[in-house]
């Protein structure tokens, strides 16, 4: 069934990822998710050198956290992580977890903060993550490879970064790879759901911020980027469809894209497991960087 034919109740169920986890109840899976991310981030802060609350813009929310390996290397790879939370929850404060296995391999991890709703709206959040990337490149001019990773709403924002017309910015980032994990790439289906209540998006805002509608620009800006579209086995059918259709559109446009359907994961564990160096997606990211 196409989303336009679904009743609001079914659409809301499809776009409530916590109701699809087979590990625990909806409330428990969210609590466990926040706990896992916080613990992973605490661990990252103990194993890496950190620069916290580095400003990338004028706004209070425009700050990032940098996790730096203890080993000096001339060949520095940097991963920018954009957190999820439906553009209205979570923050950079629990978004350093993937640094745990990566700093060991000499990879710098940057967790980006942005103004979630209701303080921030969709246009602002997209503008913020784009500016954060420009700022990272200006601060780390010696990096040999820039990579993006985003989860859920963060995968949407990462895809919006790939779809940026950089002519309006001071530099054009060369993003080598992007991991888009359990993302939403067409915002139209969520307009009538609870997700949009704090976002207050109109159809016009949703269309101009939907990566699925911006593939020609993505191709212009990010043709040399290796893109991985990852989805959880136990994501909802609608979430899985979002990833599958976005992947097919990118592939049809001749982009360098692969699809990863990650077994034995749900919407939350698919990203939580990046704290582990032996996890499939961690290994894939390290392989992409030539660090495996």
Q: Is 107 helix (H, G, I), strand (E, B) or coil?
A: strand
The set of catalytic residues is: 152, 235, 267
Burial of 105 (0-12, 13-18, 19+ CB in 10 A): middle
> Can you say whether residue 200 is alpha, beta or left, with left for phi > 0 and alpha for psi between -120 and 50 degrees?
left
CA-CA distance, 259 to 229, in Å (whole number)?
A: 5
Sheet strand arrangement including 76-82: 49-55, 63-68, 107-112, 76-82, 143-151, 175-181, 226-232, 257-262
Q: Whose structure tokens read 């359990």?
A: 182
DSSP string, 114-169: ---TTTS-HHHHHHHHHHHHHHHHHH-TTEEEEEEEEETHHHHHHHHHHT--GGGS
């Amino acid at each position: 069934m196409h989303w336009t034919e679904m009743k609001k109740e079914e659409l809301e169920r499809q776009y409530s990822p916590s109701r699809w986890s087979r590990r625990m109840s909806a409330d428990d899976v969210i609590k466990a998710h926040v706990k896992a991310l916080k613990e992973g981030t605490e661990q990252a802060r103990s194993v890496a050198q950190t620069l916290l609350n580095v400003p990338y813009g004028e706004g209070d929310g425009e700050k990032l956290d940098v996790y730096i390996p203890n080993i000096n290397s001339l060949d520095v790879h940097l991963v920018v992580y954009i957190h999820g939370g439906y553009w209205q929850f979570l923050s950079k404060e629990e978004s350093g977890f993937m640094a745990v296995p990566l700093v060991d391999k000499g990879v710098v991890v940057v967790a980006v903060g942005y103004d979630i709703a209701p303080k921030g709206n969709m246009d602002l959040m997209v503008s913020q993550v784009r500016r954060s990337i420009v700022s990272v490149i200006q601060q780390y001019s010696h990096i040999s490879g820039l990579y993006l990773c985003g989860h859920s709403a963060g995968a949407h924002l990462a895809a919006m970064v790939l779809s940026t017309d950089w002519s309006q910015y001071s530099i054009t980032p060369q993003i080598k790879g992007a991991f888009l994990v359990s993302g939403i790439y067409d915002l139209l289906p969520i307009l009538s759901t609870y997700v949009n209540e704090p976002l207050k998006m109109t159809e016009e805002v949703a269309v101009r911020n939907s990566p699925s509608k911006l593939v020609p620009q993505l191709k212009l800006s990010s043709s040399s980027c290796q893109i991985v579209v990852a989805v959880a086995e136990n994501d909802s059918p609608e979430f899985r469809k979002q990833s599958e259709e976005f992947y097919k559109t990118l592939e049809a446009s001749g982009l360098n894209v692969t699809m990863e359907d990650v077994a034995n994961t749900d919407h939350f564990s698919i990203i939580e497991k990046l704290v582990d160096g032996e996890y499939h997606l961690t290994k894939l990211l390290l392989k992409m960087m030539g660090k495996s």
